[in-house]
Amino acid sequence: MTYSTNLPTVPATVNLTLTEMQRDKMTRLQAVTLMAAMRDRIHVQGKDSNGTPIGTYTPAYIRARIKAKRGTDNKVILSLTRALEDSYEVYPIENGYGIGFNTMESMQKARWCEDTYKKTIFAPTAEERALVKQIADDFIVKYCAS
């Protein structure tokens, strides 16, 4: 039995079919959507990159959170001053957009949080990666269907 396929040429065809403006729009939408999903997961739901709780705050830290008017919940959401979550930014990168922190202090704080809780927190979850892929799939269908 023999078969033939054009699979090796499909990515090149899709890349040629999407205009530069469409690729720019798609990758920006992917980055903005991913940033919002990660912000919600980390700073609202308090979950790491595996979708499990980051941890719980100590009673002493909960008192500091109460004093800062940030609630009484012991669920770790890595947000006291909101400086870390407010420092997420979409950046242009080669062939699209990415997300990162707009200050070195925030990058160091993120690393400290991962080291402290011994968890990967600031990487996308499988669901978040699937969301980014779905955006690409939708763009391909919309702009390359003809």
CA atoms within 13 A on the CB side of 71: 11
In whole angstroms, what is the distance from residue 79 CA to residue 70 CA? Answer: 8
Each residue's pLDDT tens digit in the chain (146 positions)? Answer: 444 545 455 555 555 567 888 889 999 999 999 999 999 999 999 999 999 999 999 999 999 999 999 999 999 999 999 999 999 999 999 989 999 999 999 999 999 999 999 999 999 999 999 999 999 999 888 887 65
Structure tokens at 120: 């990967």
Q: Where are the domains of the chain?
A: 19-53+81-144
Strands 96-101 and 88-93: antiparallel
Q: Which residue has the tokens 């990967």?
A: 120
19: left (phi over 0), alpha (psi -120 to 50) or beta: beta
The DSSP bridge partners found for residue 75 are: 56
